[in-house]
Amino acid sequence: MTVPPTISRDCSAVTDDAFLGGALQILQQRSGYRAGLDAVMLAATVAATVDRPQRVLDLGAGVGTAGLCVARRIETAEVVLLERDPQLAALAAENVRRNDLSDRVRVVTLSVGASATEVRAAGLIEESFTHVIANPPYHNTASGTLAPDATKAAAHAMPDDELDSWARFMARMAAPRGLATIVHKADAMLRVLAALDPRFGGIKIMPLYPRPGDNAHRVIVEGMKGSRAPLQLLSGLVLHSGGNDFTPAVQAVLRAGASLPLPGARR
């Protein structure tokens, strides 16, 4: 296992994990935030297009799991992984290399909310991405105990009002009629809507239910830049069929790289 020079050479500090049924191998830190189901489900909302290649921006990409899932699933997609932490960005770059995706995926070390000058210096163009995706930190820095390590703390939590900054940056980077999609905790749905609604229309909400009869624990929220369509609350998706086994629909996403486009028309 090759470890980037900015990451500890102690291989016990990272794990080598298979995604999409082994089609993708991801190095990630053993402790702290670890990408899993949420990142894969988020990536599955990006659908292949026939009229133009998908240009996808993965905000707060971490080690690149969501964006790399998009690139593996959609052979024509061009993906930018934007991550502010140099160590995580180094792992993301190594994951791009080891999965032979360097021709369509690149890593940019930049903060969400970077200035226009910083964005241009990084080689990015505002309003140029057909789809912007984000799996932001779920916890509020004002509540609970933060991890003593700054990298772990930043991956798990951010200030309550920073979600608005993420949505503002998504709007800056999304092309006209481009999509913005966020996966978050269900109890954060009001904050997600408050952040997206002023900037995106045609908002769709897909709840994710752990098991039949359970309350939703996650929501996927998506909007289109420039759409005037009303909000739609979708029927949602059940992840597990009673026990610990995933439902066939979820198995298809996690193991076979099936897409999960949010249904419904937009205008």
What is the chain's percent helix, strand, coil content, to nearest 5?
A: 30, 25, 45
User: Amino acid identity, residue 194?
Assistant: A
Asked, for residue 264, whether it belongs to a domain, the answer is no
Asked, for residue 200, whether it belongs to a domain, the answer is yes
Q: What pLDDT shows up at residue 144?
A: 52
Average pLDDT over residues 1-27: 77
Share of the chain above pLDDT 90, in %: 78
pTM: 0.89
Determine the structural domain holding residue 202 and report its residue range: 11-256
> Does pLDDT of 14 surpass 70?
yes
Asked, for residue 263, whether it belongs to a domain, the answer is no
Chain length of the chain: 267
Asked, for residue 265, whether it belongs to a domain, the answer is no
Secondary structure (H, E, C), 142-203: CCCCCCCCHHHHHHHEECCCHHHHHHHHHHHHEEEEEEEEEEEEHHHHHHHHHHHCCCCEEE
**How high does pLDDT run on average in the chain?**
90
Lowest mean pLDDT among 61-75, 107-121, 154-168: 154-168
DSSP state of 20: G
Rounded to 5°, the CA angle 59-61-62 comes to 145
What would the pLDDT profile of 198-225 be if each residue is shown by its tens digit? Answer: 999 999 999 999 999 999 999 999 999 9
| Phi and psi at residue 38, to the nearest 5° | -60, -45
Asked, for residue 5, whether it belongs to a domain, the answer is no
Asked, for residue 3, whether it belongs to a domain, the answer is no
User: Amino acid identity, residue 54?
Assistant: Q
Asked, for residue 6, whether it belongs to a domain, the answer is no
* CATH code assigned at 243: 3.40.50.150
> Does pLDDT of 2 surpass 60?
no
What would the pLDDT profile of 93-131 be if each residue is shown by its tens digit? Answer: 999 999 999 999 999 999 999 999 999 999 999 999 999
Asked, for residue 40, whether it belongs to a domain, the answer is yes
Strands (E), the chain: 14-19, 24-29, 55-59, 78-83, 105-109, 129-134, 139-140, 157-158, 174-185, 201-209, 218-224, 232-233, 237-238
- The total domain count for the chain is 1
Average pLDDT over residues 152-173: 78
